[in-house]
Structure 1
């Protein structure tokens, strides 16, 4: 995705208030040049895609390959147009940085459903809203009394749900107006996931349980116990009534939320499972563990398809690309990012060796797939483009 300075930001940079005050050096006033803001444009590639389809047909596989370097970047089409080239979705180019206003660790990041803004939850219990194109600060809210540990929108995009270190779950409108707060667990809440219908949602906690809730009544319907330690993650199958959870005991468990029972247990890791995420196809589960590996499991066969060596000895987070079914990214405690194809476990297809100065705690793809947001222990939310 190409970077450009928009007309709006160019005009903003020319305003008197945008120009820095003169600095006195050796008794002389030296005027520093204003630095224009950088913006990631997602509109141009879509216009180019529509024009290219009209001239060359629908099948993108017959179109000319991109040239390496900046010249080829100008011809980069959106991810939806390059399904035959999933490697093109690896966001390895730095696009912008949004430092925490209170110098606290960024524990979780997520995009609004329309992709216009990115929301980060911090160790100080705050929500910070950033513009999704220019990455500029928009607003900040003291959302929780403790660190924010989990955050997700309903699949319909009408509500935001967040959880904190005290086990409290809060429900918000899209304008961040608080609707309801409930004590969901007695210990830290680690994961949130919604059913495909949004009628139910699941929570995971350090108390060793996964709980299934009725969204309308905000009432617990099932308590899923069986892990031998803290449950660090939970995700709901986007196509069926199945839950997957990962725990400090190194196990992945597949649950039936209706019956409240465990369907299968997978022993693929030797240390804490920090992340478990369903693929959009509803068959694969991506897991990230502190045993320095990621794994892709086929839940139809109840076994691992491939294992991937992580970016560090502790792989803390991982996320599937929203468009390219085969592509995922993983972040570790050494601040690096690695991009993999599930069908090519031999070597990563992209890497950012020092994306953060501290641990990468959270990763979130833009709904269109052209941007990646990462939250780290270096008090920053960073944005990466293709």
Structure 2
């Protein structure tokens, strides 16, 4: 298709400029606010317009869905905000009280409160069930441009033209924190999903991260993202990426930790007013004054540094592997050859090769310097399999696992045409990783990690694949999937990350019993947050981590199943 770019989906055409947008938390609807005051509602299953909400007398400046997707909150230049029934399109309440345009709106994550920000220098908090005003946050001294609730909903952050972030208690309406001056107007802000960081976008096109605690708000990494003012900023659902939109007509996707540019979306031909991630992070929706909404596949699924640290390879659901210069952030080769979303990438120990694997089970070997495809191999796998590739430590052999728990070793010299198993087990696995010495491999599973000792290099070629009985140690105690594992490059230690919210560090220790046996000891653990309770029975609990939920069930402290 002429002019199409990788990752781009069909666009939605409006008759007016699109000044804001939002996606419902259930993923079923996309709302588009227009400069004429109307709101278009699209069905995301068919991408067709199914409703039009009418009532505002000025440009729609901001939109926010309720957590249950049943209400839509809109702000407008007509000095009002409105709460709509998202199913019928009827107006539940008109929120009146501001003396100037309402530039930003937000729904509390609890659904029990909404906020509106205005050029009249105030932020107002409202009850969405009655439409009644709850608090007027009047500590701001200039027009308020952006607002964002913390993930728990107990605080709300605001920013304006005085270069400052202010944080208020949503229960009392009192100010609790204020940042130092940034030296630049902050035009938009958002919390990360864990509540520990705030990302801001500025008049000069800069993105900045702020480290947030209950008592401090400290500036962190800052980088130049756009050439013109940033209009909107948002974190991906998993917190790995930051998407930003700008008056420079672009949308950019950046790594939330390093600030490294991951992708640039450039098909808009006028100011981009808003950017939003879909609830599952699979696509981005953008709104523009060019009268279009555009949809982009957003998923960067895997990244890997070259051994020298100069290059970064990224795999994406757009079926490509891209190489980036870590010094400048400049894009290099785009490696095209996969027919499905790329799930994992890895550099060889000498940096010469990149291995990648996609959802369809195709392993591809690329020459990193030229981006040339050197070999590929298709594996017959389940469509739901998680595919992982890695280079075996200390050699140039590619290994792969395809969700079945078995690890295959591929022969590069034979163009990936031959393989042998180095591990066969009866448990499905999510990830695996080799120690830097090449002697150990760890595999992750639904509730445990397994540790295996590999044959020595001189025995490797003749060795039979490891079997279940060869497992050296099983690390248990997880209450959810162990999603990843990584070895310390200088010590016999590894870290695990689990869906329950925990990160744990482990050390492999020789038992010194003369039999070569080892044990695995926990070094430290972070999260999930502890829960303390005594003599209590809790009903209809929300917001518990999986491990706390499990503890309550085991202790008989729940009158009914705790809610997610």
TM-score, normalised on structure 2?
Answer: 0.50
1:129 alignment partner in structure 2: 41
SS of match in other structure, 1:93: coil
Q: How does 1:1-386 map to 2 (within 5 A)?
A: 93-100=7-14, 102=15, 104-175=16-87, 176-267=89-180, 269-300=182-213, 301-322=216-237, 324-345=238-259, 347-352=260-265, 354-386=266-298
Cα distance in 2, alignment partners of residues 117 and 199 from structure 1: 21
> How far 1:268 moved relative to its partner?
5.2
1:92·1:350 contact (CA, 8 Å) conserved in 2?
no
> How far 1:196 moved relative to its partner?
3.0
Cα distance in 2, alignment partners of residues 315 and 195 from structure 1: 23
2:398 alignment partner in structure 1: none
> How far 1:133 moved relative to its partner?
4.0
Cα distance in 2, alignment partners of residues 186 and 245 from structure 1: 18
> How far 1:240 moved relative to its partner?
4.4
SS of match in other structure, 1:378: coil
2:73·2:106 contact (CA, 8 Å) conserved in 1?
no
SS of match in other structure, 1:94: coil
Cα distance in 2, alignment partners of residues 199 and 113 from structure 1: 16
Query: Hey, which of these two has a bigger chunk of helix by percent?
Result: 1
Runs of 4+ that moved beyond 4 A? none
> How far 1:308 moved relative to its partner?
2.2
**CA RMSD, Structure 1 to Structure 2 (Å):** 2.1
- 1:193-235, Cα deviation, whole Å (9 max, x unpaired): 2233222221111100111222333222221122231101111
Q: Which runs of 5+ in 1 are unaligned?
A: 1-34, 39-90
Cα distance in 2, alignment partners of residues 205 and 234 from structure 1: 10
Cα distance in 1, alignment partners of residues 100 and 240 from structure 2: 35
Cα distance in 1, alignment partners of residues 166 and 225 from structure 2: 22
Cα distance in 1, alignment partners of residues 271 and 97 from structure 2: 28
1:29 alignment partner in structure 2: none
2:104·2:146 contact (CA, 8 Å) conserved in 1?
yes
Q: Which runs of 5+ in 2 are unaligned?
A: 299-564
For the structure 1 residues 358 and 267, does the alpha-carbon distance in structure 2 shift closer, same or farther, using more than 3 Å as the test?
farther
Cα distance in 1, alignment partners of residues 22 and 110 from structure 2: 20
Cα distance in 1, alignment partners of residues 152 and 51 from structure 2: 35
- 1:146-188, Cα deviation, whole Å (9 max, x unpaired): 1111211111222111121122121111221222223131111
2:162·2:181 contact (CA, 8 Å) conserved in 1?
no
1:201·1:214 contact (CA, 8 Å) conserved in 2?
yes
> How far 1:105 moved relative to its partner?
1.6
1:190·1:205 contact (CA, 8 Å) conserved in 2?
yes
Aligned length: 293
